[in-house]
Amino acid sequence: MSLATRPKPAVDNWNRPFWEACGRGELTLQRCNATGKCFFPPAPVSPFTGRPEWEWMRASGRGELWSYVVFHQGYFPGMKDELPYPVAMVRLEEGPFLLTNLDGMSAEDARIGMRLAVRFPGGPEGFALPQFGPAEDAP
């Protein structure tokens, strides 16, 4: 596991609560007050109304595998040992997409549409990176 040498997230005023929640083992999203819809990445306003009327909520942590790629070419020195590594595009139950990695399974086991659940196996110093693996309640 080389999550410790991953690039650190660029923390800003909008995503800081997200990363703090990850540190507690929770996946959180902003939810628009007017429409009840969630959005990601974190932003000052809801993309559905353009207004700063939203609240943080804890997401279910479940979603489906929308697509994935396997990197054979390296771009990050701290990820050299992981090559080739998968990046998964996961559509969360609440709607937004996350780009993430697979944990507890390999790219060979990946099937588009499969149900996945979040876990926090580690990350660069001071951060817990959400990763996704097979959902326990998967059929």
CA gap 135, 64 in Å, rounded: 9
Integer angstrom CA distances of residue 137 from 62, 67, 86, 102, 115? 10, 21, 23, 17, 9
Q: How many CB atoms lie within 10 A of CB 90?
A: 24
User: Quick one: which of 18, 22, 21 has its CA closest to 30?
Assistant: 18
Interface mask toward another protein for 70-89; x: CB under 8 A: xxxx-xx--x--x-xx-x-x
Binding residue for another protein, selected from 51, 53, 60, 67, defined by CB under 8 A: 67
Name the DSSP letter for residue 109: G
Smaller CB separation from another protein, 96 or 134: 96
Binding residue for another protein, selected from 18, 54, 68, 120, defined by CB under 8 A: 68
Minimum Å gap between C-beta 134 and another protein is 18
Interface mask toward another protein for 11-50; x: CB under 8 A: --------------------------x--xx-----xx--
